[in-house]
Amino acid sequence: MANTRVVISLSFAFFLCVAHGAQITLTNKCGYTVWPGSQANANSAQLSQTGFELPSGQSKPVDVPAPWSGKFWARTGCSNNNGVFSCATADCGNHVECSGAGEATPASLMEFTIASNGGQDFYDVSNVDGFNLPSSITPQGGSGTCNVASCPANINAACPSELQFKDSGGSVVGCKSACVAFGNPEYCCSGDHNTPATCPSTNYSQFFSNQCPNAYSYAYDDKRGTFTCSGSPNYVITFCP
């Protein structure tokens, strides 16, 4: 019986070693504080921390299990008024920890599928739900192409008036995608436009892809948006790279 227990313990230890996840380090190079948030997809567990404050110049590592799929974003302009926490952009419901809640649009998204046992990872920066701040995803280690996914441009500064998202003081703090702004099926790739063939790029998605060629500009922008890396890399997400 004792031997059985040892074998089970060793098998479990081996399992822990093989199915290693990724460390994702969030780095804030913006000149202002951001509040990163994360949300796991339906088939994955929420991370142990789903939101925190990240002052300018600071970094924080987050452990992600494998397999895992989900997204990160950063809230801006957050404050605590009479005990109610809220943010100008990408709020997840009046709490520093998002606890499974998603983000308000417009928000730049950093999306990941972390595979286990040396499987392939997928990652991208997405402007499909609009943009709120520049960002990049840099793999560390790993094997395969492992290119940097990024949207380093400040799209807020170039945002067409009909897409602008302003804070209470009137500053442009986000840029809505055409889907978020207008909701038409041809912009949202919904209804009769729910396939790559029936949802081509539009002048609005081209505005985003001209600004950020290495990020998703609309839902079927897979060729531009999708990045892959194998061999269990770690990642750095940089805000304002």
Ligand X SMILES: *[C@@H]1O[C@H](CO)[C@@H](O)[C@H](O)[C@H]1NC(C)=O
Interface positions with ligand X (CB under 6 A): 160, 203-204, 207
**Least distance (Å) between residue 188 CB and ligand X:** 16
Q: For ligand X, give the closer residue by CB, 44 or 217.
A: 217
Q: For ligand X, give the closer residue by CB, 71 or 176.
A: 176
Q: For ligand X, give the closer residue by CB, 144 or 185.
A: 185
Q: What is the full DSSP assignment across 21-82? A: -EEEEEEE-SSS-BEEEEEE-TTSPPPS--B--B-TT-EEEEEE-SSEEEEEEEEBS-EEET
**Least distance (Å) between residue 11 CB and ligand X:** 58
> What is the edge-to-edge ordering of all strands in the sheet holding 109-114?
35-40, 68-75, 109-114, 121-126, 227-229
The closest residue (CB) to ligand X is 203
Of 77, 133, 135, 79, nearest to 106 by C-alpha is 133
**Least distance (Å) between residue 71 CB and ligand X:** 26
CB distance 119 to 222 below 8 Å:
no
Q: For ligand X, give the closer residue by CB, 112 or 207.
A: 207
**Least distance (Å) between residue 105 CB and ligand X:** 18
CB distance 155 to 138 below 8 Å:
no
